[in-house]
Structure 1
Amino acid sequence: MSRHRIHPAWAVAAVAFVALVGAAGFRATPSVLLRPLHEEFGWSLGTISAAVSVNLLLFGLTAPFAAALMERFGIRRVVMGALLLVAAGSGLTVLMNATWQLVLCWGVLVGLGTGSMALAFVATVTNRWFVHRRGLVTGVLTAGGAAGQLIFLPVLARLTADHGWRAAALTVAGAALLVVPLVWWRLRDRPADLGVTAYGAGPDDAPPTTNQAGGAARAALTALRQAAGTRPFWLLAGGFAICGATTNGLIGTHFIPAAHDHGMPETVAAGLLALVGLFDIAGTIASGWLTDRVDSRLLLGAYYALRGLSLLVLPALFAATAHPSMVVFILFYGLDWVATVPPTVALCREYFGASGAIVFGWVFAAHQVGAALAATAAGLVRDRLGAYDAAWYSAGGLALAASMLSLMLLAGKRTAERGGAGPAGAGLGLAYPAASSAPAA
């Protein structure tokens, strides 16, 4: 180890960050292209939102299988394949002229590609390469998606305004392709590939292992079956489903058209949404730092409650210009956007041990189910009522409910400590560690 002045884990984390940025371009695309597609093809916002929902749903459902595939075939191969799918799906949209083609390209191809590089990828990298600083690294890698949004949103909005939506779609495809050679060159599957141990690993820290004898699909389904027998899994999944509904599904997809309804130019609205990505970077890194120091259940309860309150005031903030109160909302919402990820990853690791990354993939699948439902529902609300207000108010109430689910985890932990109960996964055939008073490092 002495010959490595900088541990190779940091190089792997850097490449993972760049890969996440490259794949994040498509996350910025739907909100920018909803209005242009509606105007060119005459498709309703509900129909276009349904294609986005397919993407979000496959994005989530692919994640746990992708985590298992990474265990079986390696991180590098899976990530390269994912980037190629994103490039193909985004590039082929320039040839489409029917809604089924939109669903195929936006929904299926890009959904499978981005799902293979979802947050389960982050959990896999941190579990394999880090023992110390896991919370911080989780926050930084999660912020990679926000960085991608920050980079792409203003660019895509300007390209769409000046050269049409096809130029924006091709830009996303090109960005994903550019990252592939870097992944092949520098991303490695395990510390042992370079003859080192994980960052911060001691002599008694064994590398994380997962039983893959039955194949990737069986490993993912087995992890789901075993985790589904525990109360913490459903509380985490329920809260994260609401997280998805209030971020990717609602704000990420419909903020720009909602602002346009109030007279705000789409380029200005895209700039505001990009600011969400900017503050998201700071908020997620800070959340990772806090996750190493504060009980993750308390963090989730606070994050969801504050998000709910902010959504309840959002309808009053829309105007033709970006006035200071809207900027304050954007700043706050950005800080809170995916701050929920580091504590959720930590809790999956705490409750489900070596299977934590795959279980988090299923929790993330719930996140995307919530996002898919919200994306379609908000589009239908706008088509039928002529405004998005009901969608904002409903999302605010759901976020407050997610806060209660997180606090139920805290209450369950304290009850178990007083009663001397075993770990959450006891009796399920998994080596789950008992919950501790401090979050996992």
Structure 2
Amino acid sequence: MSVKPARSVSTSPYWPVITHSTLRRLLPGFTVSSLGDGMAVVAVSWLAIEIAPAAERGMWVALAAAAYTLSGAAGAVLLGRFLSRRSPARLVAWDAVLRATALGAIPVCHALGMLSIELYVVLLAASSVLHSWGQAGIYTLLARLLPERDHLAGNAVLSGIGSLCTVFGPPLAGALILWGGAATVIAVDAATFLVLAATFFLAFPRGDGPAPGASASRSAGFAVIRRTPALLGLLALSFVFFCLFGPVYVALPLYVSDGLGGPAGLLAAFYTAFGVGAVLGSVLTGYLRRLPMWPATTGIVLAFGLFMLPTGLGAPTAVAVVGFAAAGLLWPPYASLSTALFQRSAPPELLPQTLAASSAVRVLAVPLGTALGGPLVSGLGARETLLVSALSIAVLGLAAAGAVRGARARRGRRP
């Protein structure tokens, strides 16, 4: 009886990933930092609510959420000539060191009474300067360490770890906020990035070698995307999708705190529900190898918008939370499938640059949408902004599906 479970595990698409000798050393550190990020989802916006002027909270929550990721897009472009010559492991480690340093300064300044809302936003921005390169580094390592058939499963493992930490991170953050305030959560997040940095420095004590194609220009990754229609179309869809989702990061905390009169724990419940769905979605992702890329991505976008509608329509809180969980179920398949396409389509010697370019565009999308969330909340209200975001995402999915069907029909009519 004990043979069957063991056999089913060994035939799982995830078995080659979790048993890989190098990945076994890296995944624990990645898990710890992901837990810190899961906590920061709540803490970043909640600390902005705590220290921003009451009349300007919407704007500062938007700026704080955007700053936490926006400068990563600038770093991907401006630092390309220097960082493209570095090994993928060092890219991850340096990103982690910068994040730990900048985020660690926030609770220190807060404890000294020096943390203004302006300084808070600046430190959040500084923390993310290398993040596009850090993400490119870890997915490049996956592509190098695993055969192509295991790329999707490897991406899903990383996504699954992040999703699982989104389940446990927000409630843990809510408890820590009650105990020591949001600045305490930021301090813990900074410490988790120190663990990630140590993991990658120790796992590759002599470096994993400079990336092939290190002499490529800083625009090489963008050139690869421009030359590959599938990558260009997918990146365009991702950019609009993430941009339309961005206002949620502003509207949801304000809807919970002002519209529903709820505590940080209720906000954590929304994010935790999203994470629970994402964990299930990550488990399913590894089994989707034969899924056609474009129908899958457009269908995910459409369904995601529909599942977000209950919150925007002011449905009972339980229904809205379930909708968030259903939307979370779709997030890992979209992210993992699209990343796998980049890993398969980009030249191996230019994979770090291509992934960094893709990450820069995607990283830019959410903060732009988040920044838009401030004026939308001020003009429409928090719940109405959530409704506009959900409807826009659903319409995007419909439009993209129609475009794909039209393109296939045109190809079918060609002699």
TM range (shorter): 0.7 to 0.9
Extract unaligned runs of 5+ from structure 2. Answer: 1-17
1:361-408 Cα deviation digits (max 9, x unpaired) = 323322222211221222222223343313432443234314533664
**RMSD (Å) for aligned C-alpha atoms:** 3.4
CA contact (8 A) 1:314 1:329 kept: yes
DSSP-derived class of the 1:289 partner: coil
CA contact (8 A) 1:153 1:274 kept: yes
CA drift of 1:133 comes to: 1.6
CA drift of 1:276 comes to: 1.2
CA contact (8 A) 2:311 2:386 kept: no
Match of 1:309 in 2: 306
Match of 2:14 in 1: none
Distance 2:132 2:233 in 1: 22
CA contact (8 A) 2:29 2:196 kept: no
Question: Which among 351, 365, 389 is matched to residue 360 of structure 2?
Answer: 365
CA contact (8 A) 1:280 1:337 kept: yes
Match of 2:283 in 1: 285
Equivalent positions of 1:123-202 (< 5 A) are 123-131=139-147, 132-187=149-204
CA drift of 1:332 comes to: 0.1
Distance 2:387 2:307 in 1: 10
DSSP-derived class of the 1:183 partner: helix
DSSP-derived class of the 1:310 partner: helix
Using a 3 Å threshold, how does the CA distance of structure 1 residues 334 and 391 change in structure 2: closer, same or farther? closer
Match of 1:212 in 2: 214
CA drift of 1:221 comes to: 0.7
Alignment of 1:337 onto 2:340: no
1:19-41 Cα deviation digits (max 9, x unpaired) = 651562534432333322336x8
Using a 3 Å threshold, how does the CA distance of structure 1 residues 52 and 269 change in structure 2: closer, same or farther? closer
Question: Which among 320, 325, 333 is matched to residue 326 of structure 1?
Answer: 320
CA drift of 1:335 comes to: 0.5
Question: Which among 378, 390, 393 is matched to residue 388 of structure 2?
Answer: 393
CA drift of 1:303 comes to: 0.6
CA contact (8 A) 2:35 2:169 kept: no
TM-score, normalising length: structure 1:
0.76
Distance 1:408 1:13 in 2: 41
TM-score, normalising length: structure 2:
0.81
Match of 2:346 in 1: 352
Using a 3 Å threshold, how does the CA distance of structure 1 residues 38 and 21 change in structure 2: closer, same or farther? same
CA drift of 1:300 comes to: 0.5
CA drift of 1:130 comes to: 0.9
CA drift of 1:63 comes to: 4.9
The one-letter code sitting in structure 2 at the alignment partner of 1:304 is V
1:105-154 Cα deviation digits (max 9, x unpaired) = 012x2222433333x33431221111132111111112333233333222
Distance 1:237 1:252 in 2: 21
Question: Which among 245, 248, 253 is matched to residue 251 of structure 1?
Answer: 248
Distance 2:394 2:354 in 1: 22
1:208-263 Cα deviation digits (max 9, x unpaired) = 9742224xxx2x4122134224443432122111332354x233454232222222
CA drift of 1:287 comes to: 2.3
Distance 1:65 1:256 in 2: 33
Distance 2:85 2:36 in 1: 22
The one-letter code sitting in structure 2 at the alignment partner of 1:280 is A
DSSP-derived class of the 2:328 partner: helix
Match of 1:426 in 2: none
Identity %: 15
Equivalent positions of 1:425-440 (< 5 A) are none
Match of 2:264 in 1: 266
CA contact (8 A) 2:62 2:374 kept: yes
The one-letter code sitting in structure 1 at the alignment partner of 2:151 is R
DSSP-derived class of the 1:388 partner: helix
DSSP-derived class of the 2:262 partner: coil
User: Which has the larger share of helix?
Assistant: 2
Match of 1:38 in 2: 52
Distance 2:371 2:27 in 1: 35
